[in-house]
Chain A
Amino acid sequence: MAKARFIVVGGGLAGLMNTIRLAEAGHEVDLISFVPVKRSHSVCAQGGINGAVNVKGEGDSPHEHFDDSVYGGDFLANQPPVKAMCDAAPGIIYLLDRMGVMFNRTPEGLLDFRRFGGTKHHRTAFAGATTGQQILYALDEQVRRHEVAGLVRKFEFWEFLSAVIDGSGACRGCIVMNQVDMSIHAMRADAVMLATGGPGVIYGRGTNSTTCTGTAASAVYQQGAHYANGEFVQVHPTAIPGSDKLRLMSESARGEGGRVWVPKDPHDKRSPTSIPESDRWHFLEDWYTAYGNLVPRDIASRAIHKVCRDLGKGIGGGEMVYLDLTHIPAQELDRKLGGILEIYDKFVGVDPRKEPMKIYPAYHYSMGGLWIDFGHMTNIPGLFAAGECDYQYHGANRLGANSLLSCIVGGEVGAASMIRYAAGGEGKGEPPEGVLQAEKRRQEKLFDRIQVMDGPENPYALGEELASIMRSDVSIVRENTKLAAADARIRGLIERWERIGLPDKGRWMNQASSYVNQLWNMLQLARVIVQGALARDESRGAHFKPEFPERNDPGWLKTTKARHTPEGPVLEYEPVDISLIPPRVRKYDVDKKEAAATS
């Protein structure tokens, strides 16, 4: 076929893998990224990447991985793509190994694997505790190779503003903004991939990086792309407190033997190391005998929340529990978990090899995202999505170390589909100049308007208000009255957005005007999350409503699809493809086999 021209937005794992596959097939790629790609949020992934290589003789298999993932996701994910992901996983780990990712090794020189939550197998390949960073670097290096060969053009410090959609409803390119000179440009492409990550900044302080606003996904949602399962967000059980960010303490800490506990007497005045075993309550091991500290994240977060909020048993009666590694030899810790111990040490000033860490749950990940078909195309022809910004692989709860995998799989599958789509003729060739220019003018007008906003509201303060609503009312425990009130308050924030005063009037690297645009998009996406949660009267995976404490398959085994209207999101539903594994009750106090027998 003739060379096609593609745009990839986002330089994390999904975007880089997508770029590599497109370039490898000989196509030209424009890679747009808000930050230099080597600094993308994928660097924050710590624990590892899953793949059933079965190096420990445990009888692991891609099918077992598939079953754990579907079960861990409480049966909300469409099963065929999850199966394809798990089948591809061992090959992907080998590929990364060939690219030079410095995975930890066994004494024989083979790849080492460790345990993670929601499985009984050693299935997680890891590079110390900075696996995401190490994989990102390997992909960055391969992209640089294609850049030198002339196939990839990078646009770093550029922001995606919107898709260019022609009269037939197909995506023909996108509008981007140079974040230094603030100029706005139209770029054409035969297909556009959004690999723009999750919307964590909507929750403010959490484990996400500063650019994880979901702004690109929200922009195309407002242009007609459907957003699926927005109400499913993951709160990670173990993060350290901070005034700017709640830094992740990887699940691998528990995978390597870390134990979560509180003093039996919350007001025990002794230092944690001098509290004897008999005076400690290991509540996860107590409540979930089969999986213990390695229950999936939704379960662990709810348990910690219950201990601290409902039972008042957190350390000192507050919102904190211990994550304890002190029983593991320091040398082993350094080799397998060095990166995260360093973070705790540097940011808290306490050595976690010697003293238990104090942790609490924090917003971490969105299972929901742009609706895509099994080939990663959104409902807008020519517009694709992969990585955390899609909704495909994790159902109602993501298992740890499946996200890096889903990014790479999404990038690969998406590339094949984009190439097929471009060869198919739809959206091919030069779009009429008028289509590009009309969308460019729409964005220029928007930024002209932002530039002269001179009301009393500070945009960053509004963003913080949004985050506090989301953290308090749309997090681990959800109640319908509070969700309805949250939606009303967000509508209030949208009205106040109109009265923002832009604090920076310059036309050079004006971060404030970008933020004002992003804030609008975050507010729209926040309503999708809240309304999806309000409507879903059941408990499933990370979505927990005490008023409706059980999973309700007859009523709610279905995918939420939000469609934008000027009045707000309209929710529609579609059935989940459960063709491979029939849904069964999900419980972690007993083994999967036993659970299946009793359900």
Chain B
Amino acid sequence: MAEPQIRVRIKRRDRPEASPRWEEFSVPRLPMMNVISLLLEIQKRPVTADGRPTSPVVWESHCLEEVCGACTMRVNGRVGQACSSLVDKLAEPITLEPMTKFPVVRDLVVDRRRMFEDLKKIKAWIPIQGTYDLGPGPRLSPAEQEAAYDLSRCMTCGCCLEVCPQINARSEFIGPAAISQARLFNVHPTGKNNAAERLEALMEPGGISDCGNAQNCVEVCPKEIPLTTSIGEMGRQVTLHALKSLLSGS
């Protein structure tokens, strides 16, 4: 029989420049709880396990069904979405910490803007000429669609960056998510038109050559995106592109 109360330890920080502190909470156990519902219980009664009133914990969440990527954090030391982290499957006390590879804003909220900036660098879009009705898009076989769909489910959640040893204070590495997105747009019949620009972006400092091949990324991706395959494929494209440029003397 499980305990009626769940112990939760949360690493908190009031402001980016403040030093972190740990607070412990005791939360009543409900059926089918996830980490989000623990945080919601604390919100309704923000009192620590030793009876001290505190502020509600601040976290980021939105869809609560693992399609938006917002609630990514470290749960018992492992990065993932708080919504799909089910309490019954977690060892207690449950520890919650913000991701470590992004600047903390407050408590469990981090600033992931760099990931969206990286999507700009690699021109992660299809260069359509306008949104007016210009008829159907290019035909794709079901096999091409299925392969591309697997890549297009990236939520920009940051799990792959969190576990990548090459992402650290001394590196500019763009990381697996953006590299895999470059692959997605390079296979699309229209997206291909910008393929060379994407490859050149990946040849810049912090580009694909910074990958250390640790292969942690593919292990933690909640959408099971074949990130290492993407990195391999883009490495091949970059090499070919470099060779071609060399031969054409450009």
Contacts and interface: CB of A to CB of B under 8 A. Distances in A.
B128 A98 contact: yes
B141 A209 contact: no
A247 B14 contact: no
A506 B55 CA distance: 9
A105 B141 contact: yes
B139 interface: yes
A94 B125 contact: no
Interface in B46-73: 46, 55-56, 58, 60-70
Interface string B184-195: 010010110000
Contact of B44 (A17, A91, A102, A464): A464
A106 B142 contact: yes
A211 B133 CA distance: 33
A102 B124 contact: no
Interface string B57-93: 0101111111111100000000000011010000000
B32 interface: yes
B168 interface: no
Interface in B104-121: 105-106, 109, 112, 116, 119-120
A243 interface: yes
A347 B141 CA distance: 32
A246 B123 CA distance: 37
A145 B106 contact: no
A144 B46 CA distance: 39
A243 to B, nearest CB: 4
A415 to B, nearest CB: 10
Nearest to B31: A243
A243 B30 contact: yes
A517 interface: no
B88 to A, nearest CB: 8
B31 A130 contact: no
Interface stretch (B149-157, B202-210, B238-246): B149-157
Contacts of A99: 126, 128, 137
A144 B139 contact: no
Contact of A243 (B32, B45, B136, B139): B32
20 contacts: A24-B130, A24-B131, A36-B70, A43-B68, A94-B135, A95-B132, A95-B134, A98-B137, A99-B137, A105-B142, A106-B142, A109-B141, A130-B67, A133-B67, A134-B149, A142-B126, A142-B128, A142-B131, A210-B61, A245-B83
Given A141-B124, A243-B31, 11 more contacts: A17-B131, A36-B156, A91-B133, A95-B131, A102-B148, A104-B142, A104-B145, A127-B149, A144-B124, A145-B123, A242-B34
* Closest A-B pairs by Cβ, 5 of them: A109-B139, A97-B137, A91-B133, A141-B125, A100-B126
